[in-house]
Amino acid sequence: MNFSGFLAKRYVFTRKRHSILTICSIATALTLMTMFFNMFSTYTTCLRAYTYDKTPYHCLVYSVTEEQCRLMAESEGIASCTLVKDTENRRYQAQIMLEEDVYKDKDILENAFKNAGLNISYYDAGIFFEFNQTLMDLDMVGVTAHANMAKTFAVFYIFLLFIIMMLRLVIDTAFEISSAERERWFGVLRSIGATTSQISAVIAKEGLMLSAVGIPAGILIGTAVSYGAYRMIMNSGLTDIFISPEKAEQLFSFDADPLFLLISAVTGLVWVLLSAYGTGMRIIKTDPVSAITRRKKTVKKVRRHTLLGFIFGWKGKLASRNTNREPMRFIITTLSLTLSIVLFSSFSYIAEKLQDTVDTILHDVGARYEFMLNNSTFYSTPKFAECVEILESSGYFKDIATSTTNMGSYYTEGKELYSEYVDIEYHNEESYNNLFNGAPPISYEELSASGKYLLIHNADQYDTHKYAQEIVKLNDIPLHIYQPEFLSENQYKALSPEEQEKCYEFPEEIHGKRYRRMCKKLYSYPVYTTVSTENTYLEVLYNYEDSSPLIFLIAPISQYNVNNNYGPYDNNYSIMFNLTEPHKYHEALEFLQNNETISEYTELTDLFIFITKIDSVVSLIKIISGFIIAIVSLVATVNMINIISTGILNRQGELAAMQCTGMTDRQLYAMTAVECAQYALTSGIDSMILCIMIVFGTKQILNIFELQGDYGDLISYTQPLISVLIASAVTFIIAFVTAYISLSGMKKQSLTDRIRSVE
Amino acid sequence: MELLKTENLCKTYGKGENEVKALDNVSFTVPKGQMTAVIGPSGSGKSTLLHVLGGVDRPTSGKVFLDGQDVYAQNDHNLAIFRRRQVGLIYQFYNLIPVLNAEENITLPMIMDGRKPDPKQLDELLTILDLKERRHHLPSQLSGGQQQRVSIGRALFTSPGIILADEPTGNLDSRNSMEIMELMRRTNRELNRTMIIITHDENIALQCDRIITLSDGKIVSDKLTGR
């Protein structure tokens, strides 16, 4: 073994801690890169299998004979031709698969059509035949596919490049840390005759030796982790959005493409060599004397007053100067931390907004619950209590709520207002709290005890309250509603003449009874509402543009049980509920369909699959954004941990000197805490500035497209900043725990031994 | 009047077959104002003794009294405070804090103690140390002799009871060594500081009032030089 190989080997084996650290850094970088590649190849493999399963052709030619299909299959560039019947089962279609790596699909197809005697041009696509572009793209068949895949790869690579650049920092930092320690050693080597190229070779060979362990380890870990992630997604039921679990298991397979793994390994190796070369160059530029004496030729200015010094006294001053020893390393680390904090803050905000939007949409389309039972016919007997009891006792369901929709006129202050719907809903506690996202204007217990109704309306979400003259929370006002009531002839005769004036002929049979009259009867509901002047409130409601006012009277389910009715005119009633255990969906559905009372008197609306699919899409988006945040944060955290721990270990002699001159343990930890706080503070402040700029920019864009205003502020400054604060606090905690562990490890050695390490 | 007293100091490293006795029943006293040299071959326990005397390394057994106070009766926190107030340590390799300039290195123990350095006292000390022009320089911008003078300044500035120096001239050339020893003698003489100096150099030892010779962790000779 030559000089450089010998020295490199010696260093790797004698300085185990640095070797392990560098191997870990290389392995971390490779793990992340491999994970990305594996996920990309698995995604394309699954998409290909899914597409092929649904549409197993590159090109589908309509109306062909068996002979024509055979002739096309024999043509150049055609892999196969399968004859299938069309959806109406009337004519035959030819499913054509092109051979691999076909570029000029136009020539090949036109030639095949000609051979089969079909008078079809390539430009007749959509008329006589169709392309399955997704499968063609995935199989890289045809001109368009090459262009499309190039676009997909470009987006993937831009993102990957960004990640790779960050990974480079991890590897760089590891080399920088070990080289800083060995600068003197290299100075000695040069002073005894080693050439600069020999020094570079030592570092490069050391990089190769460490890569020999780090790169395979990283690829193995990356493959294992990505396989774990694949299994997790498969088991989470997310694939149910597209196909059944059995089919998913059959079609969706994990794919670790050897070519991608090779690219990971080569990229990792290139990064390691570049890092080693960069470090070597920096060391070579330092002359041997300066390296040995550790004296800089350039005179460094000492900044006497620092902000941290001003805030934390001498500990702050020392911490600030320690950081300034390696300004580039500090800048790189805080930049990567800033980036991960901003990503965390933005993605969590976007995820939250997305969830809100989905919840609002689900609420607006009436999909607040997974199931709904409505009366099957307009006049059928409700049997509410019985149905509720069946649902409750089954154990399958929770959040059981009931509601009736009543038509009536609001009457108040001596004058009749408008004829509109009033929806009277009875909820149990869980459902009531869900209705207000856990923050009802009045508690369930209080509302139950009062025996009143809570009035809300569908314009609440549009801020109608701001038009009211005076807003008082939970004002106690009565709401008078004229409701239609069906009376028999005898009941009608018993009414006073004034009351009889409000009745109409109504010769209909309802619930098996024949009624003669429909009369408007006045009901007074004691209500809690959020406005004091009900006139203003109702008029505003009526005059509200683009919105048909709908009043909801919300009451506890106990109110219904007490009254044993659902309002005066319960012709439209619903029972809403959710599944207790989602995996028992089929079992529960069967129960609902087979229960006689439920199936006879109600109609089931099943929104479970719809809601689950929407939730799955939201979860998928959250998982992907979480994954991106996790990767970026991991890289930044590994960098920070590297720098803080090695910074302390490299300074152990210096810290021991301070302890010898009287620094207490508490002072040592306090100084370290300030050092850690610098990372958290700097990246936190940078992130805040960046977030404010992003929010400001987004607001400007929204204003340009006139998306702000009508619906209030779509984005706010405060929420992302809260995430930034949380992330900064977490950064500080991680930094301090790292420092604490390093200091504890260092303190296992006696002060004497550490002070001797300087010598 | 005795300032420092040790009673049967023992310090062992390792266990069983690997046990090494760095100090073996070392007992002696040092009167106030005396300048004592500790000499001995490498591995005789000189540096260990210095660290044990300075409150840096707890002895395996035995006691150290400084000004009548049992040094190791204190917990680690109080021991750190004791070091910053009562002991001045000077090392062969200076052990200065590279991010602090000369002035800040000198005043560090006092600042750690929460006290404000007296600018007049600092100026006087910097003049004595001949570092006035270099007060704002970082250790990496100072020569070896200058760095050692900063280290001496740090040991003197809090006016400690005792100054312990571990081969203070071991890393310096003869001119700088002479200057440093002259400075230490002046300090001893003019400020009546008690000093214990560990050295290999016989000439330096002879400049002290007393020479203690250690061998295999034991005192083999203890003589006054008659200075």
Scanning the structure block, which residue is given the tokens 């696509």? A125
Bridge partners, residue A397, by sequence: A579
* Helix, coil or strand: residue A14: helix
Delimit the CATH 3.30.70 region(s) of chain A. 56-131
Cβ of A660 within 8 Å of Cβ of B83? The answer is yes
CB neighbourhood size of A417 (10 A): 19
B20 interface with A at CB cutoff 8 Å = no
Residues ≥6 apart with Cβ < 8 Å to A170: A25, A28, A29, A635, A638, A639, A642
Query: Which letter, b or e, does each residue of A78-92 get, where b requires 16 or more Cβ atoms within 10 Å of its Cβ?
Result: bebbebeeeeeeeeb
Residues ≥6 apart with Cβ < 8 Å to B128: B183, B186, B187
| pLDDT at residue A711 tops 50 | no
Instruction: Note the pLDDT tens digit of each residue in A430-451.
Output: 778 777 767 777 888 988 888 8
A258 interface with B at CB cutoff 8 Å = no
B100 interface with A at CB cutoff 8 Å = yes
Q: Which two tokens stand for residue A280?
A: 């070597």
| CB-closest option in B93, B111, B140 to A295 | B140
Q: Respond yes or no on whether ipTM tops 0.90.
A: no
| Total number of domains in chain B | 1
Determine the Cα angle at B145 with ends B139 and B151, to 5°: 60
B112 interface with A at CB cutoff 8 Å = yes
pLDDT classification of A710: cutoffs 50, 70, 90:
very low
pLDDT classification of A468: cutoffs 50, 70, 90:
very low
Q: What is the pLDDT of residue A430?
A: 72
Say if strands B194-198 and B162-166 run parallel, antiparallel, or are unpaired. parallel
Q: What is the pLDDT of residue A535?
A: 47
B200 interface with A at CB cutoff 8 Å = no
d(Cα A479, Cα A456) in Å, to the nearest integer? Answer: 12
d(Cα A489, Cα A469) in Å, to the nearest integer? Answer: 46
Mean pLDDT of all residues in A359-366:
66
Alpha-carbon A128 to chain mean position:
43
Q: For chain A, what is the mean pLDDT? A: 76
* Helix, coil or strand: residue A445: helix
Q: Which two tokens stand for residue A689?
A: 């500035």
Could you tell me which of A654, A662, A743 has the C-alpha nearest to residue B79?
A662
The region of weakest confidence among A18-32, A287-301, B191-205 is A287-301
d(Cα B84, Cα A667) in Å, to the nearest integer? Answer: 13
Q: Which two tokens stand for residue A330?
A: 């500090």
Could you tell me which residue, B79 or A408, shows the higher pLDDT?
Answer: B79
Residue type, B59: P
The region of weakest confidence among A154-158, A566-570, A718-722, B146-150 is A566-570
CB neighbourhood size of B65 (10 A): 17
* CATH number of the structural domain A56-131: 3.30.70
d(Cα A625, Cα A618) in Å, to the nearest integer? Answer: 11
Could you tell me which of A153, A125, A167 has the C-alpha nearest to residue A35?
A167
The region of weakest confidence among A22-31, A729-738, B7-16 is A22-31
Cβ of B112 within 8 Å of Cβ of A314? The answer is yes
Q: What is the pLDDT of residue A343?
A: 79
* Helix, coil or strand: residue B115: coil
pLDDT classification of A5: cutoffs 50, 70, 90:
confident
Instruction: Note the pLDDT tens digit of each residue in A226-254.
Output: 898 888 878 766 666 567 777 788 888 88
Distance from CA of B50 to the nearest CA of A (A): 10
Q: What is the pLDDT of residue A476?
A: 59
Start-to-end Cα distance in chain B: 18
Cβ of B54 within 8 Å of Cβ of A660? The answer is yes
Q: Which two tokens stand for residue A62?
A: 């309509």
> The domain containing residue B46 runs over which residues?
2-224
Alpha carbons within 13 angstroms on the beta-carbon side of residue A414 total 0
Cβ of A758 within 8 Å of Cβ of B83? The answer is no
A758 interface with B at CB cutoff 8 Å = yes
| pLDDT at residue A145 tops 70 | yes
pLDDT tens for chain B, residues 1 to 227: 789 999 999 999 888 777 888 999 999 999 999 999 999 988 898 888 998 998 888 899 999 999 999 999 998 888 888 988 899 988 888 888 877 889 988 998 888 888 889 999 999 889 888 899 999 888 888 888 899 889 989 998 888 989 999 888 877 788 888 888 888 888 888 888 899 999 888 888 998 999 999 999 999 999 998 77
| CB-closest option in A322, A662, A759 to B84 | A662
Residue type, A106: K
Residues ≥6 apart with Cβ < 8 Å to A439: none
d(Cα B19, Cα B190) in Å, to the nearest integer? Answer: 44
With a pLDDT cut of 90, the percent of chain A lying above it is 4
Most confident of A313-327, A740-754, B27-41: B27-41
Start-to-end Cα distance in chain A: 31
B146 interface with A at CB cutoff 8 Å = no
With a pLDDT cut of 70, the percent of chain A lying above it is 74
Instruction: Note the pLDDT tens digit of each residue in A586-635.
Output: 888 889 888 888 887 778 888 888 787 777 777 777 777 777 777 777 77
Residues of A in contact with B83 (CB under 8 A): 660-662
Q: What is the pLDDT of residue A513?
A: 61
| pLDDT at residue A510 tops 70 | no
The region of weakest confidence among A307-311, A522-526, A560-564 is A560-564
| CB-closest option in A665, A752, A759 to B51 | A752
Number of residues that make up chain A: 759
Scanning the structure block, which residue is given the tokens 């005789």? B44
Q: What is the pLDDT of residue A178?
A: 63
**B191, B16 contact by CB (below 8 A):** no
Could you tell me which of A229, A260, A259 has the C-alpha nearest to residue A34?
A260
**B139, A654 contact by CB (below 8 A):** no
Residue type, B182: E
| CB-closest option in B76, B99, B154 to A321 | B99
Distance from CA of A650 to the nearest CA of B (A): 13
B159 interface with A at CB cutoff 8 Å = no
Instruction: Note the pLDDT tens digit of each residue in A179-231.
Output: 656 676 776 666 666 677 777 788 888 888 989 999 999 999 999 988 988 88
d(Cα A513, Cα A486) in Å, to the nearest integer? Answer: 10
Could you tell me which residue, A690 or A283, shows the higher pLDDT?
Answer: A690
Mean pLDDT of all residues in A353-365:
70
pLDDT classification of A569: cutoffs 50, 70, 90:
very low
pLDDT classification of A301: cutoffs 50, 70, 90:
low
| pLDDT at residue A361 tops 60 | yes
Alpha carbons within 13 angstroms on the beta-carbon side of residue A562 total 10
Which residue in A298, A660, A749 has the most chain B C-beta atoms within 10 A of its own C-beta, making it the best mutation to test that interface? A660
d(Cα A687, Cα A723) in Å, to the nearest integer? Answer: 10
Which residue in B77, B103, B112 has the most chain A C-beta atoms within 10 A of its own C-beta, making it the best mutation to test that interface? B112
pTM: 0.61
Cβ of A758 within 8 Å of Cβ of B93? The answer is yes
Q: Which two tokens stand for residue A584?
A: 């028992």
* Helix, coil or strand: residue A95: strand
| CB-closest option in B47, B109, B140 to A662 | B109
Q: Which two tokens stand for residue A94?
A: 């030819």
Which residue in A752, A753, A756 has the most chain B C-beta atoms within 10 A of its own C-beta, making it the best mutation to test that interface? A752
CATH of the domain at B116: 3.40.50.300
| pLDDT at residue A459 tops 70 | no
